[in-house]
Amino acid sequence: MAGSAIGPDESSDPSSSATAFSSLAQVSSLLPEASALSASTGLVEPYLDGYATSNVTTQIGTHAYLPCRVKQLGNKSVSWIRLRDGHILTVDRAVFIADQRFLAIKQPDKYWTLQIKYVQARDAGSYECQVSTEPKVSARVQLQVVVPRTEILGDPDRYVKAGSNVVLRCIVRGALEPPTFIMWYHGAEQLAADSRRHRIQLDPNLPEATGDGLSTIGSLIIESAKKRDTGNYTCSPSNSPSATVTLNIINGESSASAVTSAAATTRAYALCVLALLLSVILIGVGHRT
């Protein structure tokens, strides 16, 4: 037949048969190795894409996002651990902590992100992303929390003559971003940003004198201060702690002299008490001798 490659004479050759059998045996002996190689190349193990340790810096009161990019995850789980106490925070999307600020977010680009809402200073520290392989695959994220500083420039107690214009300046230092607003309160009453007698100004992104960063100043301007303006004034920035100052409105020179007189009386009283204590000590020493 035209389709036959081996003639009757060739098929009956003993040496040809032996050669064919030997080749078949060699191929058969390689089959387990080929199967094992195929199985090993088909086995997909998860791995983390990125650095073994990374840093995230956020500001107190904002939301922090700790990234963990896992490739070829398959049916494995991703967990987040807080290392300072070994607390399991999340496993996949399940949350294992009563603090509702923690949440695991699965994103389309293979990121398993740990979200911490309204970050507090105590949230700073190391967190670990773990994949449930054997051995364990993990990466750490170091969270740094920036806490801005708030102060009202000048003395904590102010004495101002009635009828004067008063300017209180509240400065926010060390913030990653300037506050979106600074509210002012007189006692428990919030002051309007632009009323007939009170004005509030916000000056963000001012360079620090030390050159270490930017600051924001919020000013409260009280025009023609009156006796009823006496009291505590608090500046409350959107992204840092509050600060308070006490304002005393005095009625002209008589009130100023009264303040001076009161201070002198206090000093005289303190001197009298000190002299009395010294007398008691000396008398006691005299009795012992």
Using one digit for the tens of pLDDT, what is the confidence trace for 175-186?
A: 888 888 899 999
Q: For residue 284, what pLDDT is reported? A: 64
Q: For residue 22, what pLDDT is reported? A: 43
Q: CA 266, CA 248: separation in Å to the nearest integer? A: 18
Nearest to 73 by CA among 100, 93, 49, 97: 49
Q: CA 70, CA 76: separation in Å to the nearest integer? A: 10
Given a cut of 70, the residues of the chain with pLDDT beneath it are 1-44, 50-51, 109, 207-213, 252-270, 272-289
Q: For residue 101, what pLDDT is reported? A: 96
pLDDT per residue as tens digits for the range 209-228? 555 567 899 999 999 999 99
To which H or E segment does residue 15 belong? helix 14-42
Q: For residue 71, what pLDDT is reported? A: 82
* pTM (two decimals): 0.59
Q: For residue 63, what pLDDT is reported? A: 93
Q: CA 12, CA 153: separation in Å to the nearest integer? A: 111
Nearest to 255 by CA among 165, 161, 163: 161
Q: For residue 53, what pLDDT is reported? A: 83
Q: How many CB atoms lie within 10 A of CB 133?
A: 15
* Residue 3, strand partner residues: none
Q: For residue 186, what pLDDT is reported? A: 93
Q: How many CB atoms lie within 10 A of CB 125?
A: 14
Q: CA 21, CA 6: separation in Å to the nearest integer? A: 16
Which ranges in 99-222 belong to alpha helices (H)?
Answer: none
Q: Which amino acid is at 31?
A: L
Q: CA 132, CA 129: separation in Å to the nearest integer? A: 10
For 154-160, which contacts have Cβ atoms below 8 Å and span 24 or more sequence positions?
Answer: 154/245, 155/245, 156/244, 156/245, 156/246, 157/245, 157/246, 157/248, 158/245, 158/246, 158/247, 158/248, 159/248, 159/250, 159/256, 159/259, 160/225, 160/247, 160/248, 160/249, 160/250
Q: For residue 110, what pLDDT is reported? A: 75
Q: Which domains does the chain have, with CATH numbers?
A: 47-146 (2.60.40.10), 149-250 (2.60.40.10)
* Residue 140, strand partner residues: 53, 128
To which H or E segment does residue 10 belong? helix 8-11
